[in-house]
Amino acid sequence: MPALQLLVYPITDHEFDSASMVDNAKGYFLETEEMRWFFDHYARAPEDFADWRMSPMRAPELAGLPAAVVITAEYDPLRDQGEAYAQRLRDAGVPTHGLRGDGLFHGFFGMHPFVPPAQDAWDLAIGALRAALEMR
């Protein structure tokens, strides 16, 4: 079992109707049409995304999974998926810390040396990873 789920703007469902997919469809680095392209090239057929291993939000149960850190960006088509997954984890009793990069876009995490607000997400992720590895 992994020591930690460190999820940075995770893809957790095959969907294009959430508010973040619609509101952030264009102009914020990652666009919804690009997500469609990625999905089209990731699976053999659209039906594959019904499987919880491709769309973790569709898993019947999340209890017993490792603790999670879920980092999302305000201006990201994937924001709602990541935040919904974090909430499902919490509801299942999985210790979960969520952080939304307010005012930030998909891709900000690796830009922490140049985008000061991204430093909080970086520090959270590195701290959680260190703690999880020290417990092993």
Domain boundaries, the chain: 5-134
- The reported pTM is 0.94
What does the DSSP assignment read for the chain? Answer: --S-EEEES------S-SHHHHHTSSSSSS-HHHHHHHHHHHSSSGGGGGSTTT-GGG-S--TTPPPEEEEEEEE-TTHHHHHHHHHHHHHTT--EEEEEEEEEETTGGGGTTT-GGGHHHHHHHHHHHHHHHHT-
- pLDDT band of residue 136 (cuts 50, 70, 90) is low
pLDDT digits (tens, 9 = 90+) for 83-99: 999 999 999 999 999 99
**Yes or no: domain 5-134 corresponds to CATH 3.40.50.1820:** yes
pLDDT digits (tens, 9 = 90+) for 11-58: 999 999 999 999 999 999 999 999 999 998 988 888 999 999 999 999
